[in-house]
Amino acid sequence: MNLNSPLLEVKNLEVSINENQILNNLNLTINKGEIHAIMGTNGSGKSTFSKVLAGHPAYSVINGTILFKGSNILDLEPEERSNLGIFLAFQYPIEIPGVSNEDFLRLAYNSKQKFYNKQEVDPIEFLGVINEKLKSVDMNPAFLGRNVNEGFSGGEKKRNEILQMVLLNPDLCILDETDSGLDIDALKIISNGINNFMNSEKSIILITHYQRLLDYINPTYVHVMQEGKIIKTGSAELAKELESKGYEWLKN
């Protein structure tokens, strides 16, 4: 771990799945304290990129490097990357029947406590920890007793992802279309939760199609992905330009 290196450095990343190359010479550097929005047409590889960062086993990295806090993470399992401080909020959160949300969250929290040689908490102590986090995303405690995401509405699943994020306290948060499926009030609450969570030691990758999220969360940079690479980088203004002009004008 090198404290002076960028939080994330992705160089010449090439990724394939089932013989199809999806990411193609992707480069991205993220420093602490930065929020990077990634936009781009459907199928351009945004979710693939987020899953590769988190260590999804279905994808093969055929070339390139991913350095997190200065160390190569390509050989690390998803849980090891999570312990080091990488968090992915899924575009399509999965349901886990038979596992209560409360148990799931406590086990995830305790495995990270254990990794850092910190005291694990029992179920009673955990309620104290989680209650404060529930407030930050304005979530009803009743969701703790339900099975993970089972029968949750689209917006409730997204809120549950952000609850996991604030609980696990990662350094790099990758939020894949967390705004989709949220009504306006939920969007404001979740944006608020994300803004309160953000600080100069953390970084966020926000994958989104909509300027409306960026009205609440101000990105340091906006990137456009196309055909598996970043084809344009700009300031928050770029997202406004894309909103009015679409993506067609970027094709060369």
If the CB atoms of residues 30 and 225 are measured against ligand ADP, the closer one turns out to be 225
Our CB check for Mg ion shows the closer of 47 and 101 to be 47
Stretch that binds ligand ADP, among 13-21, 68-76, 198-206, 234-242 (CB under 6 A): 13-21
- Cα 36 versus chain centre, distance: 11
Q: How far is the CB of 78 from ligand ADP (least distance, A)?
A: 17
Applying the rule CB under 6 A, the residues between 40 and 69 that interact with ligand ADP are 40, 42-48
Count of other CB atoms within 10 angstroms of residue 147: 16
45 contact, one of ligand ADP, Mg ion, none, CB 5-8 Å limit per kind: ligand ADP
Q: Which is nearer to Mg ion, 90 or 109 (CB)?
A: 90
The answer to the question of residue 178 lying near ligand ADP (CB under 6 A) is: no
Report the partner that residue 4 touches, choosing among Mg ion, ligand ADP, none (CB closer than 5 to 8 A by kind).
none
Q: Which residue has the tokens 């602490």?
A: 32
As a whole number of angstroms, the distance between CA 124 and CA 117 comes to 20
Shortest separation between residue 48's beta carbon and ligand ADP, angstroms: 3
Q: Which is nearer to Mg ion, 68 or 90 (CB)?
A: 90
Judged by the rule CB under 6 A, the positions of this chain that interact with ligand ADP are 17-18, 20, 22, 40, 42-48
